[in-house]
Amino acid sequence: MSDVEPVAELEGVVVRVDGRTILGPVDLVIRCNERWVLLGPNGGGKTTLLSIVGARRQPSEGRARVLGTTLGRGDIRALHGRISHSSHVLAELMPGEPEIRGLLALMELQASRARARTDGDGNLVLLEDQDRRRWDRARIARGLADLERAGPLDHAGPYQLQAAIAACHARADSWEATDWPWIVEHYGALAALAPSPVVELNRAVAIGLARGPAAGLAALDAIDVSALRGYHLLPAARADFLRRLGRFPEASAEYRRALRLVDNPREQTFLSGRLAACEAGGGAGP
């Protein structure tokens, strides 16, 4: 299997290689067979190959536009579209590389849910509560086809595995029909291939949804949280499992902890609503 891995998905970035600033801006950086593939805008709104370089160290960003509260849905969709186009350019350059097909599949499947992620007022809508009729079925079909073209998962890379997880959601007719045990397996394979605290967190959440909230809490407790102390989704995940178990005072404490760490207004609104429900002695939803 070729050594291909994601490095960055960035907008307006000046890239440095071995300490030298060589080009910019860049949309996507991917490592492939000990070389760095850099793609970015060509001046006409399209993405093209900027450079394929060999380097002793990973290219690093010099300046990036932060995806913060000032970005609207249109801005995020535009950035997503440019990264998706970068992926198609790579697929043309390296048609036999499974991870590129996995990347294409992941981008299509993630984008398919874009319209359902917020309601008419711009409030966050979790995957569990999304109206699946708003999902883009054409994107799902393309994503599943790209995942199929990427080949078997026996020797899959990180992109293929992430796309396989997204495919489990895309294939499910409802939240209840989601194949959570299979998602747990995929996250286990991803953790073995590309270990990270965030992957372990996602796997723990999947365990809780596959085997029950008590199992999810136990999986969260087994994570080395030293690298996640400032990550609001860790206390948010604990809060959700505690809420589902009816342990509302403990859940409230975790929601407060998450609120101290999050700076996105939509997430703040969502977490505040869950906190208010727990403080009232009941959970919002199952």
What's the one-letter identity of residue 251? A
**Do residues 148 and 98 lie in contact, with contact meaning Cβ atoms separated by under 8 Å?**
no
Q: What is the pLDDT of residues 114-160, one digit of tens each?
A: 899 989 888 889 999 999 999 999 999 999 999 998 889 888 888 89
> How does strand 47-53 pair with strand 60-61?
unpaired
pLDDT, position 166: 95
Structure tokens at 98: 């499974």
Q: Number of helices and strands (H, E) in the chain?
A: 10, 5
- Average pLDDT rounded to a whole number, residues 260-268: 90
Residue 20: pLDDT band with limits 50, 70, 90: very low
Query: What residues pair up with 49 in beta bridges, in sequence order?
Result: 39
**214-220 long-range contacts, CB within 8 A, separation 24+:** 214/241, 214/245, 216/241, 217/241, 217/242, 217/245
Q: What is the pLDDT of residues 174-186, one digit of tens each?
A: 999 999 999 999 9
- Average pLDDT rounded to a whole number, residues 11-20: 42
Whether the per-residue pLDDT at 276 is higher than 90: the answer is yes
Of the candidate ranges 57-66, 249-258, 267-276, the one whose mean pLDDT is the lowest: 57-66
Query: Considering only CA atoms, which of 165, 224, 234 is closest in space to residue 195?
Result: 224
pLDDT, position 195: 87
Of the candidate ranges 12-21, 55-64, 152-161, the one whose mean pLDDT is the lowest: 55-64
- Average pLDDT rounded to a whole number, residues 32-47: 52
